[in-house]
Amino acid sequence: MPLRHEVSNDTRLSRRGALTLAATAAAGAAAFGVDRGLAQEQSATPAADTVPPDFKVVLHAAEADHWLYVQSNFDNLQHEWPEARLRVVVDGNAVNSLLDHSDLTTALETAIAGGLELYICPNALHEHGIAEAEIPLAANFSLGGVVALVLAHQDGYVYVKP
């Protein structure tokens, strides 16, 4: 249910419209843990001891220019929630960024050593003329990107496309 109330070009609200808007805002605030309009100071992420043992995230790297965000996500998750299960699925033109040793591949090597699972789509490699042997990372090359994402979903991973 959307938490947004459409307002026409006429900025005046009827009493009913104002009550509906207030009720929607109150419901939204309640959903986010805000008590009667008073914002409670909360950290951006829960403490590590509140992360459930089955916390799983699959990050989808499909575009080369999004690697900055993907890397930030897996760095933060591994730092803040070291018990989380993390997987990165790489397809599309993002595979081109994995060819040479770089800050990205070094960060991925470190993350893999910390438990990150890296899946690289063999179809994307083929489409971009890249051999698996050219990728200097320990990765799973057995599943297409879409199949890897669907299987991660079936295994309880939450999909994030940074």
**In the chain, domain spans:** 12-43, 54-160
Residue 7 DSSP code = -
Determine the Cα–Cα distance for residues 111 and 92; give it in Å rounded to an integer.
Answer: 21
> What pLDDT is recorded for position 48?
54
Return the number of other C-beta atoms located less than 10 Å from residue 21's C-beta: 15
Contact assessment for residue 67 and residue 94, using Cβ atoms and an 8 Å cutoff: yes
Q: Mean pLDDT, consecutive 10-residue segments, the chain of 162 residues?
A: 40 40 42 41 55 89 97 94 94 96 95 97 98 96 97 96 92
DSSP characters for 38-97?
BPPP--SS--GGGS-TT-EEEEEE--GGGHHHHHHHHHHHHHH-TTSEEEEEE-GGGGGG
> What pLDDT is recorded for position 102?
93
> What pLDDT is recorded for position 124?
98
Closest to 43 in 3D by CA, of 51, 67, 16: 51
> What pLDDT is recorded for position 45?
56
Tokens describing residue 123: 């179809």
Strand arrangement of the beta sheet that strand 56-61 belongs to: 117-120, 85-90, 56-61, 158-160
Look at strands 56-61 and 85-90 and give their pairing.
Answer: parallel
For the domain bounded by 54-160, which CATH number is listed? 3.40.1260.10
**Cβ neighbours of residue 124 under 8 Å, at least 6 residues apart?**
90, 91, 92, 93, 94, 95, 145
> What pLDDT is recorded for position 11?
37
> What pLDDT is recorded for position 52?
80
Tokens describing residue 17: 């419209």
**pTM for the full predicted model:** 0.70
